[in-house]
Amino acid sequence: MEVITLTPRGYCKGVVNAIETAKRTRKQHPNEPITILGMLVHNRFVVEALQKYQINSVDTAGKTRYELLDEINEGFVIFTAHGVSDRVREKANAKGLKIIDATCEYVSFIHSLIKDKLSEGYTIGYIGKKNHPESEAVLEISDKVHLIETEADLTFTDEKLFFTNQTTLSSYQTAALYETIVKKYPNAVISNEICNATRCRQQAVMELEKVDALVVVGDPKSHNTQKLAQLAQQKAAHVFCVENLDDLLKEDLHSFQKVAVTSGASTPTKITQQIIHYLQTKEIIPLKTEDII
């Protein structure tokens, strides 16, 4: 079997920063409660590895970050790479929690950009996924920020319009939506903020030459991993979405001659490397907690 490893893959800069921030906080405060508001990054193996450091997460389906704060009453609260709204920050401060901010720099930039445009009198159209934590934080900035998921949401009548987007979307689907926006609102201001890590990983998949199968490694909750998997369907007849080697071992890849491997920006690099090594050698290298984070 020929194994093609796509580059880049695995942890992006924002994920590395978030994980290092959490570990550093524990090292500096060995005896204090540390709780992450939501999943630090969308990967369950990272969440489980952090628990070994006595760093727990509060994350309940259907609850907003603001509501989840009710479950944290002492110590440090870590805001995830996805960012939080000012309302969440204010509530954390009011509860006397010590805030550690692990927001991705690209997400922070979008918050600042939207606030600037609001101050200039713009109505904001934000392309994103409903209930995703990154979108949740942006939509709480102002009631003049409106979520756009499809063309059907483009019902604006305002004269001053500004459009931007969630960082982890499909760059190709987002570009198509922006084309519609330009035609419908020719005077609108647009700032496409798909992060470079997401864009490069998607581009690597789309530039891939023909393969028999493509393995996408990542947590199904990871939006950027979901988008990689969707693009993979265009490049290979057989696409395997797996969280780790255990998942891959359930699949039969023996008949394939050419297999490519990629992974989402929140997927631990060592997990992907373990899968690649197995495909190349049929040997299984055990992983430890420290390999994950």
Which two three-digit tokens encode residue 52? 């070994």
Query: Active-site residue numbers?
Result: 134
What strand order describes the sheet that includes 213-217?
2-5, 258-263, 213-217, 238-242
Going by C-beta distance under 8 Å and a sequence separation of 6 or more, which residues neighbour residue 48? Answer: 292
Spatial neighbors of 96 by CB under 8 A, at least 6 apart, are: 74
Phi (first) and psi of residue 276, to 5 degrees: -60, -45
Terminus-to-terminus CA distance in the chain, angstroms? 30
Strand order in the sheet with 161-165: 145-148, 123-127, 161-165, 189-190
Phi, psi of 207 (to 5 degrees): -90, 0
Q: Count the neighbouring beta carbons within 10 Å of the beta carbon of residue 80.
A: 27
Do residues 3 and 259 lie in contact, with contact meaning Cβ atoms separated by under 8 Å? Answer: yes
Asked if residue 268 has a cis previous peptide bond (ω within 30° of 0), the answer is: no
Distance CA 226, CA 199 (A): 13
Beta bridge mates, 161: 123
* Distance between CA atoms of residues 82 and 105, nearest Å: 10
